[in-house]
Amino acid sequence: MKEEPLPQESPLWDCPNLIVTAHISGPSLPEDMVGIFKENFRRFLRKEPLIGLIDFSRGF
């Protein structure tokens, strides 16, 4: 995008088939992803809050 963060008046916020996410730089290493998945699976089984959930009601 030409401007970050995306301005509130941008029409992109209203696109029904688009999810706007934060700009995240850097690689994701498989070792890191496995650890997060394992922790989230453990939390899921115990009905605990998961790591990295997106709250769409907050608008981002």
**Greater model confidence, 2 or 7:** 7
Q: pLDDT by residue (tens digit) across 10-38?
A: 999 999 999 888 777 677 777 788 989 99
Mean pLDDT of 49-53: 91
What predicted TM-score, i.e. pTM, was given to this entire model? 0.49
pLDDT bin (cut points 50, 70, 90) of residue 1 is low
DSSP secondary-structure letter at 17?
T
> Do the Cβ atoms of 46 and 39 come closer than 8 Å?
no
